[in-house]
Amino acid sequence: MKFDKLAYSPLFEKTLVRFISEFTSEMNPTRVLSELSKTLNKKVSKDPVSSYNMNLSRGDDGVFKIESGFMTYRDSRLLILSLFKWIERNGSTDKRTNFIVDIKFIDSTPGPFKGTLFNNGITIDRIDKLKMILDFNESRVYDSFPTRRYGFISKSINRFEPNQKFIPKEDSPVDPKFYSIPNTSECGINFETLTNGFLRLQYIGGEDYNKKAQDVLDIISEFCVSAWNCTVNPGYSKDNITSFEKIVSRHTKVREAYIDYKVFKQNYPKIILTVDLLDNSKIVDSYYANIRDRIYDILTNIEYKGDIEINYDTGLGVIQIKGGKLKCNVIKNVEFIECEIEFGNYYNCDFYNSKIKDAVFKNCNLFLDSIAERCKLIDSFANRTIELNNCEIEGENGMMNCKMSGGIFRNGSIGMHAEISNDAVVIEYKKVKVGYMVAGDKILIPTKKFDRI
């Protein structure tokens, strides 16, 4: 949508904003509380957030987090500017730090008598999610914060899934009932928070985000206007339809390939599809109807370069991908072999002799000389042949038995072959004894742990 801040000032007056800002500082936590209270001219303490108090906390990894309550749009802008100036003088922001914004609408106005309110009937939970995806200028945000494009909580919202694989065609009208919006808790706009009465913006963050104050304020303004537009104005504009057609066209080949294996081969000549490693058209065709849903889910969530092989192992009932350079979104229950992978969230996946960067693993296993850089491992396993470089590890059900250079080890177990470099931040871990595991094994003294507030 075309955006002009001055033209939309009445909407800003009816918008409430709050924010969560993360940063690091060498300053003593007690002094941080005092200094921020003076700079922001507002009480900052360990107490819960309220109209009169901002909450400040500090994690074991040394990252401070300050959270405001909802306030007027104008007040939020002034407070953000003051906070960013303070961070520039007394702290810093890095790739771990986020700046999160929540908005909601003022849906009632004071009545003629004391204590009475008139309900305007406009609440943000009525927003048209599909229209918001099409309306919001996401590329403008990534231009300002390019490292956030594949961040852990700032992925693109420009995706939605048809409820039926065969429809709609490209010339069909935009209709939300044909589509479902995937879980957006890890996307730049988080619609999951609507159940709590607000809409969340998660795009902003990363190194030196506090030095881009004007970009941050402009993004918040456009976010507010788009949210109002997609709540009070039904229907889709020409620009919305154009955006819709561009997004849908990306998946034209995979929707066509869903129908028939012969069409799959025509549309994806660089993908070898096998069953039990057999490249036999009759065998693959006989299994295609059983695996096409899983193939569809994979191909709508990856971008690839080079030739790759997708194999269905009938004995294990698992899909395997071998070779190629991949950029992924959300992948579940897949084995990767000799792949070069960037980005993505992986659930219950196994990796063999692969190189992975900037990914999140949940309940995954890394084997056979795989290397992970700047990844986050949650309840996952890394065996003795793995290298972890500047990764984050957490989860009581996870286990690391390999070399770890840099990064943060929040919690979990380590094996007898684990090597943790001196520059890694280690909060706590349990050591697995040789030959067997002991429930509740002693937690070792942390090598590094920051004081909480």
Average pLDDT value over all residues in the chain? 87
* DSSP-assigned states of every residue in 25-46: -SS-HHHHHHHHHHHHTSEEES
pLDDT at 112: 59
Query: Which of the four pLDDT bands, split at 50, 70 and 90, describes residue 322?
Result: very high
pLDDT at 448: 53
pLDDT at 194: 96
Q: Is the pLDDT of residue 245 over 90?
A: no
Higher pLDDT, 4 or 78: 78
Q: How far apart are CA 200 and CA 192, in angstroms?
A: 8
pLDDT tens per residue, range 361-405 = 999 999 999 999 999 999 999 999 999 999 999 999 999 999 999
What value does the mean pLDDT take over residues 257-277? 94
Query: Which of the four pLDDT bands, split at 50, 70 and 90, describes residue 1?
Result: very low
Closest CA to 369 of 352, 356, 381, 357: 352
Please count the CA atoms within 13 angstroms of the CA of 438 that sit on its side-chain side: 9
pLDDT at 220: 96
pLDDT tens per residue, range 375-387 = 999 999 999 999 9
Higher pLDDT, 208 or 122: 208
Please answer whether residues 260 and 273 qualify as being in contact, where contact means their C-beta atoms are separated by less than 8 angstroms.
no
Q: How far apart are CA 249 and CA 268, in angstroms?
A: 15
**R_g (Cα) of the chain, nearest Å:** 25
What value does the mean pLDDT take over residues 252-275? 92
pLDDT tens per residue, range 422-431 = 989 898 888 8
pLDDT at 440: 42
Whole-model pTM: value is 0.82
Amino acid at position 316, single letter? L
pLDDT at 244: 82
Q: Is the pLDDT of residue 446 over 90?
A: no
pLDDT at 253: 87
Pairing of strands 53-58, 43-45: parallel
Q: Where are the domains of the chain?
A: 6-247, 252-431
Q: Is the pLDDT of residue 155 over 70?
A: yes
